[in-house]
Amino acid sequence: MGAHSAGHLRRVLRLYLVRSGLSGVAEAAELALTELVANVVRHVPGRRCRVCFLLQPGGVRVEVADGYPELPAVGDADALGEGGRGLVIVAAVTDRWGVTPYADGRGKTVWFECGGVAEPPGS
């Protein structure tokens, strides 16, 4: 996964949300997805992951799964530092987020949910 991958995934997510009547949560979901993908690029050897978008009543759940066992942690970001804010941002812009480790300990799924009021079709 390269830097261009985050941009592509954001475009796919926005299109998915707009076509599902959830454009009101697109900006927050795109930002949170960008942060999770950045974590994969920065911390997961081989930069491989699977991304899944799941519609829920009035919102979306986004999952980013990888085969790296280390669990992410909310960092203590230095005011002038370049890192440590990703999960703080995810928590700030989403309704819920979390990490689900694989039962075999060989990876995890980091997920978030963004709610919203679905727009009527054709709006």
All structural domains of the chain, each given as residue ranges with its CATH number in brackets, are 3-115 (3.30.565.10)
Segments in the chain forming alpha helices (H): 3-19, 26-43, 86-93
pLDDT by residue for the chain (123 residues), tens digit each?
655 688 899 999 999 999 999 999 999 999 999 999 999 999 999 999 999 999 988 899 999 999 999 998 876 655 444 556 789 999 999 999 999 999 999 999 999 999 965 545 554
CB 62 within 8 A of CB 32: yes
At residue 77, the pLDDT reads 57
Axis-axis angle for helices 3-19, 26-43 (nearest 10) = 150
At residue 74, the pLDDT reads 78
What is the C-alpha separation between 120 and 39, in angstroms, rounded?
35
At residue 94, the pLDDT reads 97
At residue 17, the pLDDT reads 96
CB 107 within 8 A of CB 64: no
What is the C-alpha separation between 90 and 98, in angstroms, rounded?
10
At residue 71, the pLDDT reads 92
Which residue from 9, 56, 76 is spatially nearest to 36, judged by alpha carbons? 9
